[in-house]
Amino acid sequence: MLAGLRQHGNFPLPARADMNDVLAALARAAGWTVHPDGTTFLSSPQPPLPPPAQFQGAFQATSLETPVFTNSLNSYAIGTPLDSQASALQTDDSLSPSSLDSVVVAEQSIKNESYGNSSSANSLNCMGSDQQLLRASAVWAGDFTKTPYIPVYASLSMGIINCYCQLVDPEAVRAELRHLKSLNVDGVVVDCWWGIVEAWTPQKYEWSGYRDLFGIIKEFKLKVQVYFDFMRSFHMEFRSLSEEGLISAIEVGLGASGELRYPSCPEKMGWRYPGIGEFQCYDRYMQKNLRQSALTRGHLFWARGPDNAGYYNSRSHETGFFCDGGDYDSYYGRFFLNWYSGILIDHVDQVLSLATLAFDGAAIVVKIPSIYWWYRTASHAAELTAGFYNPTNRDGYSPVFRMLKKHSIILKVVCYGPEFTVQENGEAFADPEGLTWQVMNAAWDHGLSVSVESSLPCLDVDMYSRILDTAKPRNDPDRHHLSFFAYRQRTPFLLQRDACFSELETFVKCMHGEATQNFVD
């Protein structure tokens, strides 16, 4: 219901609205005045102001409620070094946040008057709600021409660098890049593994294979995004490529699988979907910190992890901690979960402080996991064990995003394809789309640039369409859109060529705002 009101009802609901917020929004839409304390009364009608003379008869002047998105893209910034590059790029400032100037393709020069023109005649405030919906339909219904340009990056195949940090098959890499270039992608994503670069001697880094790889990528004039968890050596080794603009963004790993989270669901420990996972708070350092926090709070008996939170593969209703009315919402539970999530936020804050120093002025990307199973329960157990204090009565992502905003981070949201059946997701009370929209809305509310990473199955037209709807939300008066999209391939591109080349090509064109029609089955 909340998603429908946000997307189609034009209601200003916060990321984690409750029923009181919904009733207040409905009352305001019906002409009632609602005070913060809940007092509600019918407003006396005010005579409408006449429209300006030059627009009389053309538009009806109305006041439109702003929906869930509340921040303008023009307020985004990652810092002066990146902002100064704006003049060199052929993009519309009203479409692309300045934080991504370094990754937007310079050849992009499409100007969308309906998005970029700031004259009062084109303002949404000059249109009635019916006219606004009609105009949005004309722009979005099967037609992506003149929509915002969203860069598309594709990951290279795994195993192209061997354990000796050597490029295994340069010609195969060239063939793959040639194929990607034919799809008109903007760049590629390269995984840099600590176990390869620092394999033999501590603090002695071997980068030869990656230097050869980046040289080949440079031949094809593609941009690179790099994921890694060691910083200073990389920056010194490839500083010249960053200054040339070849490396557009750097993704810093902050936890399991490079994502900002605790390793609460490790498959090597026997975890299987949809297990709730386990709290990671039992080493001596975490226990010492927990004891100190409990002592400061004045309740030393709280210096322990939950003893009724189940195991890796437990279901939330099987535990005393996560079940409806469970201990997660007790005084102790709230103390523990605040401490547990706070430790993760402090860790990320420290790592990003070092990263911003190491990569002075570079765009830094942080990946947020998609822990969507048990999302339709009260406790959100899997999110809690991963470090996100996000039950139904609390917005657990806002504290994280406030910290990320301090470091001018570009957020990457992981969107999974249909990996599990409808029955499996139903039994797990899963809601991937609900979680994705909560995370994206909360990030936009905090002024963060948002990107998405996803694996797109071949010939899954519905998945392509859903990603496009996520990238360019329909009927959003603030015109939020993704900063870029990263395609994480499941099989090598050369094996996909005959199966889904045309679908991928059309998808990229839609992302670039060039396709004249949407996908059809």
List, by residue number, the catalytic residues.
259, 453
| Listed residue (265, 259, 330) closest to 488, CA to CA | 259
Give the Cα separation of 149 and 103 in Å (integer). Answer: 12
CB atoms under 10 Å from CB of 163, counted, come to 10
Give the Cα separation of 460 and 452 in Å (integer). Answer: 18
**What φ, ψ does residue 225 adopt, rounded to 5°?**
-115, 135
User: What are the respective helix, strand and coil percentages of the chain, to the nearest 5?
Assistant: 40, 10, 50
CA distances from 459 to 142, 191, 356, 464, 466 (A): 18, 26, 40, 9, 13
Dig out the tokens for 381 from the structure.
């157990």
Query: CA 66, 68, 73, 79: dihedral to nearest 10 degrees?
Result: 130
The vertex-328 CA angle with 327 and 334, nearest 5°, equals: 115
Beta-carbon contacts of residue 379 (< 8 Å; ≥ 6 apart): 316, 321, 322, 323, 324, 326, 328, 329, 391, 392
Is residue 488 helix, strand or coil?
coil
Residue entry with tokens 């991937």: 432
